[in-house]
Structure formats: C-alpha cells, structure tokens
Amino acid sequence: MQLLNDLNCSVLMATDTQFAPVRELLSEMKSLTVIKLKSLDELLIEPQPEYNFEKKLKGMKSRTAFAVHTSGSTGNNRNVLLLPLGHPAGVHFGVFNPFFNNTTVILPLPGIPPTGEALLEILKHTTADWATMAPLTLEGISKDENLLDEISQRLSMLLFSGGSLPKVFGDVIATKIKLTSLLGSSESGPIPTMYPLGYNFERDWNYIQIHPALGAKFDDSAAGVAELVWERSPKTEPYQTVFTIYPDLQVFRTKDLFTPHSE
C-alpha cells in the first residue's frame, strides 16, 4: 500500500478480485478503481490481435515501465518469501529473461506456499533447467535429504536471490547441485556476474565476481568487510541503472557489505 500511495495509483488490474491479497488491498484503499483482466485460460484459448510496438528507444528509454519495493535499506521494506513479479528479482527472471534471453518461465500458482515440496510437484509435471528460490525456501530443502536428492535429479542449477543463504545450508545443497546467487537491488537492478571456466561452485557458491563493465568498487570498512560502491563514469554509466534513478549523484553507496575470497 505504501508503494501505491507514493505513486498516486488509482487503478488496480487483477484477474481475481476475491484473491485474498486483492481483497485486503481493496478493503484498505477503497478509492481504487478495479479493472478485471481475463484469466490465463481465456487468453490462451481465445485468438488475440497482434500488438505492434512501434515506438523508438530514444524516446522511451526514460519512461517509467514499472515500480518495485526497495529492500528496506532506503525506505519501507517488505518480507519476500518467493520471487513474485513485484520483486526486482521476479521482474528480472519473469519479465526480462523471456524477452532478452528467450527463456520459458514457469510461474507457480498464486496462493501456494513457496516450499521445496511445491517445487518438486511442479518438476514432476514439467521439465526445467534451473529454478530461482528465496533463501528461506532453500533452507527448507537443505534439511530434507530425500527432497534435495529428488530436486537435484530434475534440475541442473539452483539460484537464490532476495537475501543471503546461511553457509551451513548452502554447503549441503552445493554437494548435490550447482548453487549460485543473483546479486541486485531495487536501485541497481540485477548485477551481472561472471565465473571463470572450471569455477568450483561446490566450494565457492557464496562468492561472486561482478562483470568489469559495471565499474564496481569495494571500499574497505571495519571488521574485514567492504562496501559495494558505484562510481559514475562515461564508460560505465550505460550499465549503471542507479544513476538513471538518481541522475544528480556521482557516487552511490549500496550499504551492502562483502568479505573477500581467501585467494
């Protein structure tokens, strides 16, 4: 509700106005106009007219496409149990990935708890290469050896985002399946990482190497940790989303702290 109020939203689009989160929102924001969308079944069955997007990037690149919650480091936060399309990681995997990487995205049904058991049920009815989960879900998977074995046999990789995964749980998962993370934030967007050939994911699943084109800098802080900092420059600016959001800044301190690899 905070996000909707901040953006002066007056219209809510939903497929089911009886869905519990929608009902709760409408009870608190009675001024919202509701537009009911067709269900997925209707959209798939009924023929749809072709939509031609003819606008040019030059005139559209500064237009707002969507808004998401911050993580809490810069304002009101919210708990995230999985990666919905209203979460930055959900936007990356659910919207950007299909468009730019030509991937097929499998979204769980709304209202179903985001558990390892739910993931396994999905994988029993379809095939997938990898899955993106919240750390809390991966913690549960790591505690069930049979569940972890079944999931590992059906996927080639597990990826987590939206928070850190405690080492004790990640180490268990990494012995069974390739495990890695997506780094990003509401302000910076998804941050491209890279891994050298032969990278030891079982040992170093919790480390990242940011792509050099982004110009990331780590400023030493107390207790052997370093803060991720973005410094603006003509060479790196095209890849630094944060300076599109804050055009008057030359430096953005993320408040995200990291420890260096031992090697």
Per the CB < 8 A criterion, the answer to whether 137 and 143 are in contact is: no
Q: What is the pLDDT of residue 65?
A: 77
What is the rounded distance in angstroms from the CA atom of residue 98 to the CA atom of residue 52? Answer: 18
What is the rounded distance in angstroms from the CA atom of residue 45 to the CA atom of residue 32? Answer: 30
Percent of the chain with pLDDT over 90: 39
Residue 216's DSSP bridge partners are 230
What is the rounded distance in angstroms from the CA atom of residue 177 to the CA atom of residue 152? Answer: 6
Within a 10 A sphere around the Cβ of 201, how many other Cβ atoms? 15
Q: What is the pLDDT of residue 79?
A: 35
Q: At 252, list the tokens.
A: 């953005």
Task: State the Cα angle at 134 between 106 and 121, rounded to 5°.
Answer: 45
What is the rounded distance in angstroms from the CA atom of residue 12 to the CA atom of residue 161? Answer: 27
pLDDT tens per residue, range 124-140? 999 999 998 889 999 99
Residue 93 corresponds to which amino acid? Answer: F
Taking all residues of the chain, what is their mean pLDDT, rounded to a whole number? Answer: 85
What is the rounded distance in angstroms from the CA atom of residue 208 to the CA atom of residue 213? Answer: 15
In CATH terms, the fold of domain 82-208 is Rossmann fold (3.40.50)
What are the DSSP calls for 67-136, one per residue? -----STTS-----SS--TTSHHHHIIIIIHHHHH-PPP-PPPTTS---HHHHHHHHHHS--SEEEE-HH
Q: What is the pLDDT of residue 118?
A: 93
Rounded mean pLDDT for each run of 10 residues along the chain, 263 residues in total: 80 81 84 86 86 85 74 45 57 80 82 89 93 93 98 95 91 97 84 90 94 92 88 91 90 91 83
Q: What is the pLDDT of residue 86?
A: 56
Domain locations in the chain as residue ranges: 82-208, 210-263
φ, ψ for residue 257, nearest 5 deg: -110, 140
- Residue from 103, 119, 85 nearest 13 by CA: 85
Per the CB < 8 A criterion, the answer to whether 155 and 130 are in contact is: yes
pLDDT tens per residue, range 201-236? 999 999 999 999 999 999 987 788 999 999 999 999
Distance of CA 140 to CAs 61, 106, 168, 188, 205, Å? 41, 21, 12, 29, 18
